[in-house]
Amino acid sequence: MLSELVAGAVEDAAGRRSVRSLEEVERAALARTPALDAVAALAPAERVKIIAEVKRASPSRGALATIADPAALAADYERGGASAISVLTEGRKFGGSLGDLESVRDRVSVPVLRKDFIADPYQVLEARAAGADIVLLIVAALDDATLRSLYRLITDLGMAALVEAHSAEELDRALALEAKLVGVNARNLSTFELDRDLFGRLVDRYPAGVVKIAESAVLSASDVAHYRAAGADAVLVGEALVTGGDPVARLQEFLAV
């Protein structure tokens, strides 16, 4: 499934590149207002930080929410106390787009994450051109040379990379980059099963100075509390916010743990 998602995302990026050249996108990326400091926004604090996600669907759960106005939802997230907004821009399985990200960036004042299957420099440049402050890199999807090259491009453009791991070996690869935002995702990409305790088993591998981010397997405030007790500085939450009614009230529940 991961290989299929990456291949589809790269194919879609190639289609966009046939309309908007690499050079044009690079000019737009460099002309953007400098990216916000996502590392500072998500740095350890007295209470947990939340990365709230604009997410319409997923391969494992199908359709989740219509989200006709991603910017309005993101504004609610910010009002509820989110420290950053994640926007799924993959279109085939998640129903997202770069247009969603652009609209969100124009509405909120907190850092915005482009969450997609990034494997090509063009995708990084178009993320910055659309206003992203953070770009997701999935360790399982990339060899070390590509991972390092994309990480370098992201940081050279002034953004932060959220480097995502699903195992101890992947976490070590992420930390070898000296990335400042490193996440552990509870979802097994082969089986789609969730292991909420994976983050806690791996957290001691994090060195000082790295923001520890827990991802997936959050349905309630008790799940956020579980990650916080295990040592998470920030928790990425998607499904529970788009399916749980009032996103402001839901966020405030999560932040009160």
**Residues that are catalytic:** 53, 55, 115, 164, 185, 215-216
Is there a contact between 166 and 191 (Cβ–Cβ < 8 Å)?
A: no
Angle between helices 98-107 and 70-80 (to 10 degrees): 40
In whole angstroms, give the CA distance from residue 16 to residue 163: 25
CA 50-66-110 angle, to 5 degrees, is: 30
**What DSSP line would sit under 34-75, residue for residue?**
PPP-HHHHTS--SS-EEEEEE--EETTTEE----S-HHHHHH
In angstroms, the CA 108 to CA 106 distance is 6
- Our measurement of the distance from residue 84's CA atom to the centroid of its chain's CA atoms, rounded to an integer in Å, reads 9
Identify whether the C-beta of residue 183 lies closer than 8 Å to the C-beta of residue 215: yes
**Residue partners of 58: CB distance under 8 A and separation at least 6:** 64, 93, 94, 238, 239
Q: Is 81 left (phi over 0), alpha (psi -120 to 50) or beta?
A: left
